[in-house]
Each structure stands twice: as C-alpha cells, then as structure tokens.
C-alpha cells in the first residue's frame, strides 16, 4: 500500500487533533497521502511537517487510493463504506467515536499503523445488503448497506403494518414501529438494541428484527444469505413510512410498494492489524 486516503469526521474535534499524528505515521518514501477537498485551506491547523498532502473529492480519492484511513466512529465508517466497496478499497478505522465496532485502532495505538507500510495486516471481508423499492413493477429506489436497512414510521403514535416473505413464501406479519434487516455487522448495532440476535460476521446470514412489535409472538428471523426478502409496510391513517440504508436519507415507501432485500454483490473490506477475534471485540465494546 502506497497511496492512503485520510477520511476524518470533521465534526469531531478529536479527529482533527489526531490527524497530524496519523499523517506523520504514514509518511515515507513514495507514500502519497490524500485528504478530502473540503480540508483544503485548513492545513494551517496542522504541523508543518505534514503539509505535503494532496486534496481531492472523496469519489475520486476512493478510486485511486490503496486504502482509506477513517478517523471517526462506526457512523463515519458507514458513510464511506458503499463508495469504498464499489472500488474494493480497504478501510482502517481509528475510533474517535463512542463504541467503534468496525474501527480497529484507538488513538493511543497509532504506532501499529506502521504494519500497513510493511504489508503486515489482514483483510476482514464483510457481507452487505442490497435493497430495491419496487412500485408497480418499476424500481424507484435502490441502495447498498453494510449495517442495516430500516423501515420505520415517520410519525409518532402511529402503527406500521409489516408483512415479510422469503422467496415468495409468507413468513410473518405484525404491527409495530417498523422492521430492521441487518447484516452480521449490523447485528451489533440497531438490531441488538431492538432485541435481535448477535451474528458472527463469517456466518453471513441476514437477520430481520421487529421494532417494538405489538404482539408477543413477533420474533426475529435469521435467513440464509441466498434468500430474497420482500417486505411491505403501511402506516395507519395514511402516515408515511420511510426506508433508510445505514442511517442515510430516508425514502418514502407507499403501502403498495415492495421492498426487496438481497445479499449485495459489494463487500466491505476492513483492515485488521491486531488479530482480535469477533468475540473479544464484543467483550471489549459491549
């Protein structure tokens, strides 16, 4: 790896504070460091020794970089995950957020980044989900997600009627606040908070988890990755229901829409330097 895209969460002061140290540890002969275009003109806040940097749009940087170093938490990782997956760009996360399940290093562990320059690392390949909204036989929305697809009400005090089928066969129906479709990576995020199962990443299953279901019998389901899930959702009183991929901008779903969820052709590649197992990470983070 010789070209690194440094992707900081600029809303976090802690990310700005460690940025000079990150750049310094990646400096070397024939090493190219790239920062997002919006940081151009702000380099006076950094130490003089890391001034030799390139700037470009994220879309261009993820195409040419060998790896991206993400300064933030899981939310920052999710914001770049789809573009990185489209370009098979590995991500190294440095946690300046709260939990940081997907990040690899803490700010006190920056010295371990030397392993990147020496090629001493592993890649953890993570399953993603693909979602489409079908309206009268026409696709009106599609996206990919590393964590989860959430279908939920847009108005408080309303109930969403959810129907779920797998490969054309009805699985369940329930009323509640909505439903989560989560990857194993996302099973430790919103899905866990909603009472869903924890799934180890290598299992590559797809979990469907009700949100505040109004029925004792409403349970989570874990599906094989080959399944095609079809979900319908309608809110009483005509209130809107929204779908969101990895917490991104919501898209309004109509009562007669079908939300189709499958395993994505994309995969997120996470750089691992410490060799911690999934179970050890769980013990540390939860």
**Numbered residues of the known binding site for NAD(+):** 74-75, 79, 147-148, 158, 177, 188-193
Binding-site members are 74-75, 79, 147-148, 158, 177, 188-193
Q: Write down the residue that tokens 């700010």 correspond to.
A: 107
> Around Cβ 15, how many Cβ atoms within 10 Å?
23
Q: Please, what is the Cα angle at 98 between 9 and 22, to 5 degrees?
A: 45
Residue 74: active-site member: yes
Alpha carbon of 26 to those of 20, 22, 47: distances in Å? Answer: 10, 6, 14
Token readout for 50 is 């890391």
Strand order of the β-sheet with 206-211 is: 221-223, 206-211, 178-182, 148-153, 241-245, 251-253
Q: Any residues with CB less than 8 A from the CB of 21 and at least 6 apart, and which?
A: 110
Among 54, 74, 124, 246, the one annotated catalytic: 74
**Rounded to whole angstroms, how far apart are CA atoms 275 and 270?**
12
For residue 148, how many C-alpha atoms fall within 13 Å in the half-sphere facing its CB? 26
Q: Which of 54, 63, 62 is nearest to 26 (CA)?
A: 54
**Rounded to whole angstroms, how far apart are CA atoms 113 and 6?**
13
Token readout for 152 is 């939920």
**Rounded to whole angstroms, how far apart are CA atoms 174 and 35?**
47
**Rounded to whole angstroms, how far apart are CA atoms 191 and 183?**
9
Regarding beta strands 148-153 and 178-182, do their DSSP bridges make them parallel or antiparallel, or are they unpaired?
antiparallel
Token readout for 165 is 């089928």
Q: Please, what is the Cα angle at 127 between 122 and 133, to 5 degrees?
A: 155
Active site residue ranges: 74
């Amino acid at each position: 790896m010789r070209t690194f895209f440094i992707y900081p969460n600029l809303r976090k002061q802690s990310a700005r504070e460690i940025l000079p140290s990150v750049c310094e540890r990646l400096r070397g002969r024939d090493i190219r460091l790239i920062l997002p275009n919006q940081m151009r003109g702000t380099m006076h806040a950094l130490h003089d020794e890391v001034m030799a940097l390139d700037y470009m749009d994220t879309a261009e940087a993820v195409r040419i970089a060998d790896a991206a170093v993400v300064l933030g938490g899981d939310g920052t990782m999710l914001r770049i995950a789809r573009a990185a997956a489209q370009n098979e760009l590995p991500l190294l996360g440095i946690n300046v957020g709260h939990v940081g399940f997907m990040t690899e290093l803490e700010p006190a562990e920056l010295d371990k980044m030397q392993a990147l320059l020496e090629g001493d690392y592993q890649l953890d390949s993570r399953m993603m989900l693909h979602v489409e909204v079908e309206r009268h036989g026409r696709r009106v929305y599609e996206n990919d997600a590393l964590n989860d697809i959430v279908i939920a009400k847009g108005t408080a005090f309303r109930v969403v009627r959810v129907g779920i089928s797998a490969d054309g066969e009805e699985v369940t129906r329930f009323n509640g606040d909505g439903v989560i479709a989560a990857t194993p990576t996302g099973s430790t995020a919103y899905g866990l908070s909603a009472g869903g199962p924890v799934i180890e990443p290598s299992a590559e299953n797809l979990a469907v988890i009700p949100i505040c279901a109004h029925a004792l019998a409403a349970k989570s389901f874990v599906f094989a990755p080959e399944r095609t899930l079809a979900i319908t959702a309608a809110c009483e009183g005509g209130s809107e229901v929204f779908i969101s991929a990895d917490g991104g901008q919501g898209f309004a779903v109509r009562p007669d829409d079908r939300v189709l969820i499958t395993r994505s052709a994309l995969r997120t590649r996470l750089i691992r330097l410490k060799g911690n197992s999934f179970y050890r990470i769980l013990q540390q983070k939860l």
